[in-house]
Every structure is written in structure tokens, then in C-alpha cells.
């Protein structure tokens, strides 16, 4: 039995200026922070809009990764204890 489904296309996105590639177009913000080598307990993920404005995401927020998505890790204002 063969699988005739097309593989998901590769999506390129950046976190803190570093380019990453994935086929998973919806991931939790915490998973993306770990991918970038950042501790989700110490950082929040910020999605950078086209106008440069940042939207801070919670760790459990699901990020719809699109080709060309830009994000940056933002240190938490107060560390989690």
C-alpha cells in the first residue's frame, strides 16, 4: 500500500535573526523557543508584525507558522519562580 499524499511543504521562518525550516505549520510558542535554544521559563516569544510591532505570545499559544514568519525571544519582565 502506497501513501499518495503530498508531503507538507517546507516553511522558512526566523527567530532572533536565525532562519529555521519546518513542515509543521502550527506549533506552541514554547516549542519554538526551545528550538531557538531559549528557555520558555525565562523568555516569551514575540511575533514581529510587518510594521515592526511585536505581539507577545504565551507559552501554550499555538503559532501558525507561515513562510517568512519573523519572531524574537523577549526576556520576561519578572522571572518565573
80 pLDDT more than 90: no
Fold of 11-75: Ubiquitin-like (UB roll) (3.10.20)
How far, in Å, CA of 58 to CA of 21, rounded?
A: 22
How far, in Å, CA of 22 to CA of 12, rounded?
A: 7
> How far is the CA of 52 from the CAs of 28, 48, 71, in angstroms?
22, 6, 10
- Span 18-59, pLDDT tens digits: 888 888 889 999 999 998 899 999 999 888 888 888 889 999
Amino acid at each position: 500500500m502506497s501513501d499518495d499524499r503530498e508531503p507538507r511543504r517546507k516553511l522558512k521562518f526566523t527567530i532572533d535573526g536565525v532562519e529555521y525550516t519546518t513542515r509543521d505549520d502550527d506549533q506552541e510558542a514554547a516549542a519554538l523557543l526551545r528550538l531557538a535554544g531559549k528557555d520558555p521559563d525565562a523568555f516569551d516569544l514575540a511575533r514581529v508584525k510587518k510594521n515592526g510591532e511585536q505581539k507577545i505570545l504565551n507559552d501554550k499559544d499555538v503559532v501558525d507558522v507561515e513562510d517568512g514568519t519573523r519572531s524574537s525571544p523577549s526576556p520576561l519582565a519578572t522571572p518565573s519562580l
